[in-house]
Amino acid sequence: MTAGSDAVPPHQHAAAVPNTALPPDDPAMHPAPSQDDEESALLRWEGLPADATVLVPSLGPTPMRVPDNAWAMLVLAVDILGEVDPDTAGQVALFAGSWLADQPPADLHDGDLVIRPLPPEQDLGTPDDNHVADVEVLLAYRGRWMPIGRWAGVDERWPWTLAPAVAAAMRLYIDAAETLSREAVLTSERPGSSPLRWAGTVLSDLMSADLVTYGEELVWERCAGEVRHTARLRIDGTFLLADGERVFATPSAAATVLSGKHHHGWSAWRRTSDGRFLADLRAELRARRDR
């Protein structure tokens, strides 16, 4: 070895190469989302209240009785698939509601549908079968809760059985309300009358009570906040959508047209200024009347 030359290092073992391969997927490391998580995600996607109950798709036991602390379940949304795909036409894609603590006045809830799963009528002494129910559906119409159907002896599949009839009732009410409202326009011949005049609505009652004001903006967020609809209240208590052209007599009509599903608009729309839902403002009007 000459002076100044580099020494040759002794033989060394090569360094271990790190293992970059991904370990096999272990299902235990990715637990399935809980029922509550699935329901919460679906409610946010559909723009429904956080305390709503999803009946379809089935994420838990079907309620077969009205709870002790409730009067009925208010229908919030129903979606029956159309004929775009013949393989799925007529299937129930969504059915959701929320429990009402007591029976509200029908005049403030005009157009609302409620469902009451009750013990079936049976002979005295026969043991109660909690897997069977008689389910009745009521519609608030012209100051009364009117029965529109009763299904006797249904099992846990009753949401699928009732959904088409409930959707049809919601559609008929909305169509009738919009038609009657527009007839008020056609029959109004008073000089100087507004070219767009509607019959009185619960929203106009809220305006009379100063719970909402003319021109106030309302908002409805769905698809987990990715879709945001806005509307403004007109002086006659109707909804003017953000496009400045479409006007609806009821919150439910506006929500149904925007979503393509039957929606209970009172639980969807909220006031932009403070986030209060129209359903809460309606409840406040009821509280004032009860004083």
**Helix (H/G/I), strand (E/B), else coil: 61:** coil
pLDDT surpasses 80 at 261: yes
Q: Three-class SS of residue 84?
A: coil
pLDDT in the model for residue 4: 45
Higher pLDDT, 263 or 125: 263
- For residue 194, CA distances in Å to 1, 36, 115, 203 come to 110, 49, 39, 18
Q: For residue range 133-167, what is the model confidence (pLDDT) as tens digits?
A: 999 999 999 999 999 999 999 999 999 999 999 99
Tell me the CA distances in angstroms from 83 to 35, 89, 90, 177, 198, one per residue in order: 30, 5, 7, 26, 34
- Please give the pLDDT value at position 254: 95
What's the pLDDT tens digit per position in 192-251?
Answer: 554 444 445 788 899 999 999 999 999 999 999 999 999 999 988 888 999 998 999 899
- pLDDT score, position 188: 44
DSSP symbols for 225-259: TTEEEEEEE-TTS-EEETTSS-EESSHHHHHHHHH
- Ordered by start, the domain boundaries in the chain are 33-178, 196-290
Average confidence score pLDDT of the chain: 85
Helix/strand number for the chain, H first, E second: 5, 12
- The pLDDT value recorded for residue 51 is 94
At residue 15, does pLDDT exceed 70?
A: no
| H or E stretch covering 148 | strand 144-154
Q: Closest Cα partner for 286 from 103, 68, 50, 52?
A: 103
pLDDT at 25: 54
Contact status, residue 72 vs residue 103, Cβ threshold 8 Å: yes
pLDDT of residue 10: 46
pLDDT at 165 (0 to 100): 97
Q: What confidence tens digit (pLDDT) does each residue in 24-33 have?
A: 555 455 455 5
The per-residue pLDDT for 91 is 95
> Given a cut of 90, is residue 182 above it in pLDDT?
no
3-state secondary structure of 194: coil
Q: How far apart are CA 106 and CA 193, in angstroms?
A: 30
Sequence length of the chain is: 291
Q: Above pLDDT 70, what percent of the chain?
A: 79
Q: Are 48 and 267 in contact, with CB atoms under 8 Å apart? A: yes
CA 88 to chain centroid, in Å, comes to 22
Tell me 10's DSSP state: P
175 sits in which H/E element: helix 158-187
pLDDT recorded at residue 179: 78
Mean pLDDT of 13-18: 48
CA-based nearest residue to 204, from 289, 270, 278: 278
Q: In this predicted structure, what is the pLDDT of residue 14? A: 45
Identify whether the C-beta of residue 224 lies closer than 8 Å to the C-beta of residue 45: yes
Higher pLDDT, 167 or 177: 167
pLDDT at 23: 52
Q: 57: which 2 tokens?
A: 């798709």
Instruction: Examine the pLDDT at 187 and tell me if it is beyond 50.
Output: no
Integer CA distances (angstroms), 251 to 1, 41, 43, 270, 284, in order: 96, 24, 19, 10, 17
Q: Which of 100-104, 185-189, 234-238 has the lowest mean pLDDT?
A: 185-189
* pLDDT confidence tier of residue 5, bands split at 50, 70 and 90: very low
What's the pLDDT score for residue 123? 62
Secondary structure letter of residue 277 according to DSSP: B
